[in-house]
Amino acid sequence: RVNMSGRRGALIVLEGVDRAGKTTQCRKLLDALQREGHRAELLRFPDRGTAIGQLINSYLEKKSNLEDHTVHLLFAANRWERVPLIKEKLQQGITLIVDRYAFSGVAFTSAKPEFTLTWCKQPDVGIPKPDLILFLQLSPSDAMKRGDFGNERYENRHFQEQVLRQFNELMQDENLNWKVMDASQCIDDLHQEIKSHTEKVMEQVGDNPIRDLWR
């Protein structure tokens, strides 16, 4: 369908620690926007459905081991393979709600010993820059109340604390539109806040060009 409004879609990313409620909020946001007649779609990373995504899935489920740099590059490649689609949808006026993006990529790898933030960012330099990044903040003790960790790789308290530290570093970047949200609120209150930030940004993007992340 052609874009009659002359306005592109907004690229909205949800990030946050394990069990912060990203997936729950992405779905609620999608429903709410669609109900109000907006064109919106959901994406999530990792996208486990592609050939690269299957390698990542098997790694996360601990069915295979991959060297740390290698898996980092696969996560980035898994985003790059969706870049043409992302640009096309945004140009068509479709708003994209994305469950994790390059910030998870950098935060998780740089939480491992011997990795720098600079090295970790490189493979994602140039992917579409989000118009808004909603960071769902939740303390480790509140996250614990949402049930036990799963059995996937990275699902342990010490590593998650390191990851949070790396997210905090990434949030210092003033070239990006981060909004930190209190994810300890009830699902509906958090949803209202997320929706209002999103709608404001959808208004603002107009026909602004899609920019490159970290460039």
- Give yes or no for residue 21 binding ligand Z5A (CB under 6 A): yes
The nearest distance, CB 194 to ligand Z5A, in angstroms, is 11
Q: Which helix (H) or strand (E) holds 12?
A: strand 11-16
Of 205, 204, 215, 134, which is closest to residue 175 (Cα–Cα)? 215
Q: Look up residue 55 and give its DSSP letter.
A: H
- Binding residue for ligand Z5A (CB under 6 A) from 9, 45, 98, 127? 45
Binding mask 99-138 for ligand Z5A (x = CB under 6 A): xx---xx--x------------------------------
Q: Which stretch binds ligand Z5A (CB under 6 A): 1-9, 29-37, 98-106, 170-178?
A: 98-106
CA distance 35 to 95: 14
Which residue do the tokens 């509906």 mark? 188
- Give yes or no for residue 165 binding ligand Z5A (CB under 6 A): no
User: What token pair was written down for 172?
Assistant: 């210092």
- Give yes or no for residue 154 binding ligand Z5A (CB under 6 A): yes
Looking at the Cβ atoms of 89 and 100, the one nearer to ligand Z5A is 100
- Give yes or no for residue 90 binding ligand Z5A (CB under 6 A): no
- Binding residue for ligand Z5A (CB under 6 A) from 29, 43, 73, 190? 190
Of 185, 97, 86, 90, which is closest to residue 137 (Cα–Cα)? 185
User: What token pair was written down for 40?
Assistant: 């919106």
What residues contact residue 99 under an 8 Å CB cut-off, 6+ apart? 14, 22, 23, 26, 42, 43, 44, 45
Contact 42, 30 (CB under 8 A): yes
- Footprint on residues 56-75 left by ligand Z5A (CB under 6 A): 60, 75
Q: Look up residue 172 and give its DSSP letter.
A: T
Q: Which stretch binds ligand Z5A (CB under 6 A): 34-42, 168-176, 186-194, 196-204?
A: 186-194
Looking at the Cβ atoms of 99 and 131, the one nearer to ligand Z5A is 99
Where does 64-101 have alpha helices with state H? 68-80, 83-91
- Give yes or no for residue 146 binding ligand Z5A (CB under 6 A): yes
Looking at the Cβ atoms of 13 and 40, the one nearer to ligand Z5A is 13
Query: What is the contact surface with ligand Z5A in residues (CB under 6 A)?
Result: 16, 18-24, 45-46, 60, 75, 99-100, 104-105, 108, 146, 154-155, 186-187, 190
